[in-house]
Amino acid sequence: MASAMLGRVTIAAAVWVAMASPVAAEACTRGDFEAAVTEAAQALRELNQVNRPTFQAKLRQLKAKRGWSYDQFLAEAAPIVQDRKIADYDDEAAGFLARIEQLGAEGTSVAAPDCSRLAEVRQSMASLVAVQKAKWAYMFERIGAELER
């Protein structure tokens, strides 16, 4: 299930980048860079708004199913929400965020920005969203497995 979801995410990201990247032959502005960074932030907010409440509800279900106290819940649920793979997703996302920030700063600090850099911002943005989607899919897979036990 996770690999199918990841495949769909990768395809969707590639399609989005292909549609969003026709800037190579066109002129771009500082505002285009600002808008691209704003779009990245909005996409991440929306992803979290969609997934966080459902995931938290599943964590509460697990707590109730196992009869955990609050302190037990904190200890027992920690490996579900923070393991090496999740840390790897977070590291990868941090790299894309840093790249987006760097390219966005470069694009907004000059009078005539390099439009190929805007394409890089958009590519990094799509990759960041794909990583976050994969992370959510992985976390949902983990909580689902715990709820089935």
**Structure confidence by residue, pLDDT tens digits, 116-135:** 888 898 899 999 999 999 99
Question: What value does the mean pLDDT take over residues 78-98?
Answer: 94
pTM of the model as a whole: 0.75
Predicted confidence (pLDDT) at residue 11 exceeds the cutoff of 80: no
Q: What value, to the nearest 5°, has the Cα angle with vertex 128 and ends 20 and 140?
A: 120
Residues 15-70 have pLDDT tens digits of: 444 444 444 446 888 888 888 888 888 988 999 999 999 999 999 999 999 999 99
How does DSSP assign 130-145, residue by residue?
A: HHHHHHHHHHHHHHHH
| Residue 133, token pair as written in the block | 């989607």
Q: What is the dihedral of CA 104, 108, 114, 117, to 10 degrees?
A: 10
| Nearest one of 121, 54, 140, 129 to 93, comparing CA atoms | 129
All structural domains of the chain with their residue ranges: 2-148
Rounded Cα–Cα distance for residues 13 and 16 (Å): 5
Q: Would you state the pLDDT for residue 131?
A: 97
